[in-house]
């Protein structure tokens, strides 16, 4: 049986040397019946892009057009395709050798799927950096669209009959892919293959990096449309930062951040309580996994005072998401409510810390955060060091205790201030029966803590 023809479209604008690698990664696929369609969108680089493309003359189909933008170029390229399936590709990304064969096999096995993406990783400074998991099932992908773009655009393969003549990219959209997916919700089926089949090169000139504020505002508009048209919820009930947590500023006050978390919980609860029937089509573990991922992201973005620390302490509660019965969403949301309440309770009281290591970094931290006042959200319980001595900070004398004295102290977290002696101090603390989940480096703490 002969292989079906697959079209791979590569839009080009002011390409660099990576374009060769990109085209070669498609030419060297283990699936051989491929047509590569390269469209130069009016590059302004003195013919450099054209010269690279012409190196592959006879192996690709090449079109040049005046500059009209990415969305219009993609629409143009799709109309030139002859394949049963159409795969996207960017001018500087790299395909795994089996990308096309894996996606074709998946689409053949799942004829109800119209849009199929894959897992991917980042190419950053010449190294591959893991990007994390994506939702794989249609209902889970649609749910995640309320919070983020759950498909990696250059990894996507379309069923040609389902897109040609039916769907076009919006040329006015800031994020043309996300906008298209949100219009397709409920009308086509999505999927992601849980294998890294694309290496996505981070480009500082890309729209994601250069138009961040516009993308935030655009995402809010998309989420409002989804809430209204697909989920039956009035978007006017929620502020923009709730509809797109990336809109939220880390510089807001402590109490604003606490209220933000409460509002976001209400938002999640509203979505799920209004759409129980639709969500029951998902595996409950998938709902839980999505909420888990979203909640962790919100903790880190909001940075209300605990961020990763809170997540680490509450992870056992969050893991309950994956064990809840498929038909018991109420129980699932009880878990989420307990997590939210736990966060707010901790946010309302002082966090008691012990600093381990009495060097300069310890002194600077104490000066900056003024941890001596009991009404501060971070309160110093004590300072430990294997070399006992006194510290003088802000006209206050601090007795430095031996590490073994930790057993006499009541604390929430122990922060190791020394990078050089981190391993030694960490082992000493474990030997004193300090729980692993309560030990952090000062760097981790200060990265996720905001006084």
pLDDT at 73 over 90: yes
- Do 341 and 389 fall within a single domain? no
Integer CA distances (angstroms), 94 to 18, 89, 271, in order: 9, 8, 37
pLDDT grade for 253, boundaries at 50, 70 and 90: very low
307 within a domain of the structure (yes/no)? yes
Residue 163 pLDDT? 92
- Do 12 and 88 fall within a single domain? yes
Residue 365 pLDDT? 81
**CB-CB neighbours of 155 under 10 Å:** 27
Residue 315 pLDDT? 43
pLDDT at 131 over 50: yes
Check residues 137 and 334 and name the one with the higher pLDDT: 137
162 within a domain of the structure (yes/no)? yes
pLDDT grade for 334, boundaries at 50, 70 and 90: low
Residues 193-233: tens digit of each pLDDT: 999 999 998 876 554 544 566 777 888 888 888 888 888 88
pLDDT grade for 312, boundaries at 50, 70 and 90: very low
pLDDT at 432 over 80: yes
364 within a domain of the structure (yes/no)? yes
Q: What is the pTM of this model?
A: 0.67
What are phi and psi for residue 13, nearest 5 degrees?
-150, 120
Residue 90 pLDDT? 93
Residue 19 pLDDT? 92
**How many structural domains comprise the chain?**
3
What are phi and psi for residue 306, nearest 5 degrees?
-135, -35
- Do 199 and 106 fall within a single domain? yes
pLDDT at 57 over 60: yes
Domain extent, residue 126, equals: 6-209
Check residues 243 and 212 and name the one with the higher pLDDT: 243
- Do 78 and 64 fall within a single domain? yes
- Do 79 and 166 fall within a single domain? yes
- Do 359 and 309 fall within a single domain? no
**CB-CB neighbours of 258 under 10 Å:** 18
pLDDT mean over 152-169? 94
Q: Report how far Cα 302 is from the mean position of its chain's Cα atoms.
A: 14
Q: Which of the listed residues 292, 327, 347 is the one where a domain comes to its end?
A: 347
The CATH number assigned to the domain holding 364 equals 3.40.50.720
pLDDT at 71 over 50: yes
Residue 265 pLDDT? 66
- Do 343 and 388 fall within a single domain? no
The CATH number assigned to the domain holding 81 equals 3.90.550.10
What is the chain's length? Answer: 451
CB-CB contact of 442 with 413 (8 Å): no
**CB-CB neighbours of 326 under 10 Å:** 13
- Do 30 and 138 fall within a single domain? yes
Q: Which of the listed residues 301, 327, 347 is the one where a domain comes to its end?
A: 347
- Do 315 and 441 fall within a single domain? no
pLDDT at 11 over 90: yes
Residue 247 pLDDT? 52
223 within a domain of the structure (yes/no)? no
Give the per-residue SS3 of 217-269: HHHHHHHHHHHHHHCCCCHHHCCHHHHCHHHCCCCCCHHHHHHHHHHHHHHHH
224 within a domain of the structure (yes/no)? no
Lowest mean pLDDT among 129-143, 158-172, 175-189, 259-273: 259-273
pLDDT at 318 over 70: no
49 within a domain of the structure (yes/no)? yes
Identify the bridge partners of residue 355 per DSSP, sorted by sequence position. Answer: 383, 415
Check residues 406 and 372 and name the one with the higher pLDDT: 406
Lowest mean pLDDT among 45-54, 118-127, 144-153, 302-311: 302-311
State the average pLDDT for the chain. 78
- Do 105 and 81 fall within a single domain? yes
216 within a domain of the structure (yes/no)? no
- Do 279 and 332 fall within a single domain? yes
* Residue 34 token pair: 């491929």
pLDDT mean over 317-332? 43
Q: Which of the listed residues 328, 347, 366 is the one where a domain comes to its end?
A: 347
- Do 365 and 338 fall within a single domain? no
167 within a domain of the structure (yes/no)? yes
Residues 341-379: tens digit of each pLDDT: 554 454 445 678 889 988 888 888 877 766 555 445 667
């Amino acid at each position: 049986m002969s292989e079906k023809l697959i079209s791979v479209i590569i839009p080009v604008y002011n390409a660099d040397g990576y374009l060769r690698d990109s085209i070669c990664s498609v030419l060297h696929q283990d699936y051989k019946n491929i047509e590569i369609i390269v469209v130069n969108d009016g590059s302004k680089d003195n013919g450099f892009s054209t010269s690279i493309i012409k190196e592959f003359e006879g192996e690709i189909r090449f079109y040049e057009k005046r500059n009209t933008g990415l969305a219009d170029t993609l629409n143009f390229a799709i109309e030139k395709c002859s394949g049963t399936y159409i795969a996207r590709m960017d001018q500087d990304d790299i395909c795994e050798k089996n990308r096309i064969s894996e996606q074709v096999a998946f689409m053949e096995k799942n004829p109800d799927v119209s849009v199929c993406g894959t897992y991917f990783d980042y190419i950053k400074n010449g190294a591959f950096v893991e990007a994390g998991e994506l939702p794989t099932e249609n209902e889970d992908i649609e749910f995640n669209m309320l919070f983020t773009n759950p498909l990696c655009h250059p990894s996507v393969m379309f069923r040609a009959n389902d897109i040609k003549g039916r769907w076009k990219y919006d040329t006015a959209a800031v994020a043309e892919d996300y906008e298209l997916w949100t219009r397709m919700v409920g009308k086509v089926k999505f999927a992601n293959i849980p294998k890294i089949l694309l290496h996505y090169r981070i480009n500082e000139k890309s729209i994601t990096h250069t138009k961040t504020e516009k993308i935030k505002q655009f995402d809010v508009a998309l989420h409002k449309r989804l809430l209204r048209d697909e989920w039956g919820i009035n978007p006017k009930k929620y502020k923009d930062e709730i509809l797109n947590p990336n809109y939220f500023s880390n510089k807001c006050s402590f109490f604003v951040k606490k209220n933000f978390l409460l509002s976001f919980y209400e938002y999640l609860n509203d979505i799920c309580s209004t759409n129980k029937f639709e969500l029951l089509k998902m595996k409950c573990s998938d709902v839980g996994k999505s909420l888990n991922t979203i909640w962790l992201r919100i903790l880190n973005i909001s940075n209300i005072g605990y961020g990763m620390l809170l997540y680490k302490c509450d992870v056992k509660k969050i893991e309950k998401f994956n064990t809840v019965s498929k038909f018991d969403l109420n129980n699932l949301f009880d878990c989420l409510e307990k997590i939210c309440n736990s966060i707010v309770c901790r946010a309302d009281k002082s966090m008691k810390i012990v600093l381990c290591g009495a060097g300069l970094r310890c002194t600077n931290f104490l000066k900056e955060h003024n941890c001596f006042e009991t009404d501060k959200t971070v309160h110093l319980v004590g300072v430990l060091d294997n070399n006992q001595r006194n510290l003088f900070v802000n006209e206050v004398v601090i007795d430095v205790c031996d590490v073994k004295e930790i057993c006499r102290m009541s604390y929430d977290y122990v922060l190791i201030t020394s990078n050089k002696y981190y391993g030694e101090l960490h082992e000493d603390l474990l030997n004193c029966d300090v729980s692993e989940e309560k030990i952090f480096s000062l760097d981790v703490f200060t990265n996720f803590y905001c006084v």
